[in-house]
Amino acid sequence: MKNKVSPKELNSEERIESFKEVVLGYGGQEAVEEAKRCLQCAHPRCIEGCPVGIDIKKFIFQVAEKDFKGAFFTIKEKNNFPSICGRVCPAEYQCRKYCVLTKRNSYCASKNSINIHFLERFVGDYGIDRGLQLPVRANSKLTAKKAAVVGSGPAGLCIAGELARVGMQVVIFESLHKEGGVLRYGIPPFRLPRSILQNEIDYLKKIDVKIKLDTIVGRAITLDELRQKFSTVFLGLGAGVPSFLGVKGENLANIYSANEFLTRVNLMHAFEFPRYQTPVNIGRHIVVIGGGNTAIDSARVALRTQVINGLKPDVSVLYRRTEEQMPARRLEIEHAKEEGIKFRFLTQPTGFFPDGESFVQETESLECRLGEPDSSGRKRPVAKEGSNFKIKSDLVIIAVGLQSNRLLTSLTPSLKTDQWGNIIVDKDMKTSVPNVYSGGDVVGGEGTIIEAMGMAKKAAQAIINSSI
C-alpha cells in the first residue's frame, strides 16, 4: 500500500492572521498518486456512505488515469457542488468511514482511508478552472412549468439546478441580501472561499435561475400566493433559530449565539470593520460552548479576530462530552488545536457572571463524567456535584444547536410540523400541502451540506416525475 498523500496547508502562524483558505488542495500529480491508492473494490462500500450516491470508485479510477474531465462529469451526475462538498463535507463520517481501509464499526474514518473529499475537491476545481458544466437537457413537457424555491442554502441551490437543467423555470426567494444561506453566513472563508460559492451561484444564473433577494416568504409573499403563481414550491428554509443553555446570566452583554456571531463576520464582514459597517465585539478571553462544526468554526473565527486586532489569542472550547464524541470534523478539530485553541472536555457550563456593568466576565461550569448512553447512542454526561469552577470570559459564543424558523409554518396552518417545528415530509419529500416539497435542516436533517443536497435531489426527481 502506497503512502497517503496529504494536501498542503498554510502553517498555523500564517493562517490565523487572515481568513485565507487553510487547506490548499491537491495538484494534478498529487491527486493521481492518491487516487492510485484506491483498491477499486468489487463492492465499494464508500458509495453507501455518500448521501447523493456519487460513483466514487469510477471517478477515482478516472483520476488515476488522468481523465480529470471524465471524473468531473461522473461526479456532477450526482453532486452539483463538488468544489464545495470537497471542502466542507464531513467525509470522515460518511464516504471515508466506509472505505475498506477503515476498520468496520469505527466511529470515523481511519487516517489511512482514501482522501475521497480532497480528490472530489480537486476534480471540482479542475472543472471550475476550465468552465466545465453539465449541459441543460430541456424536456419539452417541463418548459412551461414554474418552480419556486424558498431559501438559497445547499438544498435550495441544489434543487434549483436540478429543475433548471431539465427546462423548468425556477425562481429562488432568499430572505437575506446575499445568496448561499448557511454556505455563506455559517461557514468561514478559510474553509469555503467565497469565489467557489459564487461560481456555483453564477452557474445557476447562467441556466436562467432567477434569484430574488431580501424577500421573506411568509411576510412579503405568502405560501398560498406562491402556489397560485408556481406549479410547485420547494421549502429549503434551513434552521436558523439558535438554541441556548437556559442558565443564569445568559442574557448578559457580550454573549452571542454562534449564529449571530458567524453571520456578522462571514456575511457582513465584521472582521473588516470599519471598512464594512457591521461591528462585532472582540474579547480578550473568549469561551465557545459546544462540540459541533459550528462551535469549532466560531472558535477559529474568534481567534482570528483577536489576532487581526492585535490581541493575544485566548480562545477555549467547552464541551460536555469527550473529544471522541465531538460531532465536529476531525480535520477542523486538528486545525483548531494547531492554531492554539484550547479545549476543556467533560465540562458543563452552569452560569455566567458579570462585571459591574452587566457585561459577562466569568463562566461557571461543572466537571462531568460519562454515564449511560442516551437516545443518540452516546454516553450521557453526568455532572459531578461540587466540582464547580470558573474561568475568565469577557466574550462567550453559544453553539449548542439550531432550530427551525417557524415564521412561515406558523402563518400556514395547513403545513404540518412536528413537535420541534420541523416540516413533516413523506418519502418523496412532499409536505401536507399539495405540490409543496421540503428538505434540509427544516425537515430535521443532520445539518450536513451533502445530506441537504440528497434530500433536494430526491424532491427534484419526485417533482419531475409528477410533472411529465
Return the exposure string of 297-322: e unless at least 16 CB atoms fall within 10 Å of the residue's CB, then b. bbbbbbbbbbbeeeeebbbbbbbbbe
Name the domain boundary from 355, 370, 401: 401
pLDDT digits (tens, 9 = 90+) for 319-359: 999 999 999 999 999 999 999 999 999 999 999 999 888 99
Specify if 395 maps to a domain.
yes
95 close to 50: Cβ distance less than 8 angstroms: yes
Both 179 and 109 in one domain: the answer is: no
Q: Is the pLDDT of residue 1 over 70?
A: no
Number of domains in the chain: 3
Both 117 and 203 in one domain: the answer is: no
Both 172 and 267 in one domain: the answer is: no
Question: What CATH number is given to the structural domain containing 68?
Answer: 1.10.1060.10
Pairwise CA distance, residues 144 & 138, whole Å: 11
At residue 237, the pLDDT reads: 93
Both 302 and 317 in one domain: the answer is: yes
Share of the chain above pLDDT 90, in %: 88
Q: Return the C-alpha cell found at 289.
A: 460552548
Share of the chain above pLDDT 70, in %: 100
pLDDT digits (tens, 9 = 90+) for 211-253: 999 999 999 999 999 999 999 999 999 988 999 999 999 999 9
Rounded average pLDDT over 243-265: 96
What are φ and ψ of residue 248, in 5° steps?
A: -65, 140
At residue 468, the pLDDT reads: 84
Cα–Cα nearest to 409, from 453, 459, 443 = 443
Q: Is the pLDDT of residue 107 over 90?
A: no
Full-model pTM: 0.95
pLDDT category, 374, cuts 50, 70, 90? confident
Q: Return the C-alpha cell found at 107.
A: 466511529
Specify if 374 maps to a domain.
yes
Pairwise CA distance, residues 296 & 302, whole Å: 10
Pairwise CA distance, residues 4 & 33, whole Å: 9
Q: Is the pLDDT of residue 202 over 90?
A: yes
Mean residue pLDDT of the chain comes to: 95
Residue carrying the nine cell digits 464545495: 84
Question: What CATH number is given to the structural domain containing 264?
Answer: 3.50.50.60
pLDDT digits (tens, 9 = 90+) for 414-455: 999 999 999 999 999 999 999 999 999 999 877 789 999 999
Specify if 136 maps to a domain.
no
Pairwise CA distance, residues 110 & 101, whole Å: 7
Both 443 and 391 in one domain: the answer is: no
Specify if 291 maps to a domain.
yes
Both 232 and 257 in one domain: the answer is: no
pLDDT digits (tens, 9 = 90+) for 20-37: 999 999 999 999 999 999
Specify if 138 maps to a domain.
no
Both 191 and 107 in one domain: the answer is: no
Both 24 and 96 in one domain: the answer is: yes
Which element (helix H / strand E) includes 211?
strand 210-212
Name the domain boundary from 378, 401, 424: 401
Q: Is the pLDDT of residue 198 over 90?
A: yes
Cβ-in-10-Å burial (0-12, 13-18, 19+) of 420 comes to exposed
pLDDT category, 273, cuts 50, 70, 90? confident
What are φ and ψ of residue 344, in 5° steps?
A: -125, 105
At residue 265, the pLDDT reads: 96
Both 23 and 69 in one domain: the answer is: yes
Q: Is the pLDDT of residue 81 over 80?
A: yes
Both 342 and 393 in one domain: the answer is: yes
pLDDT digits (tens, 9 = 90+) for 122-162: 999 999 999 999 889 999 999 999 999 999 999 999 999 99
Both 396 and 260 in one domain: the answer is: yes
Name the domain boundary from 67, 101, 129: 129
Which element (helix H / strand E) includes 352?
strand 347-354
Specify if 290 maps to a domain.
yes
Residue 228's domain comprises 146-240+404-467
User: At what angle are helices 56-64 and 116-129 packed, to 10 degrees?
Assistant: 70
Both 409 and 394 in one domain: the answer is: no
84 close to 198: Cβ distance less than 8 angstroms: no
At residue 267, the pLDDT reads: 94
Q: Is the pLDDT of residue 463 over 80?
A: yes
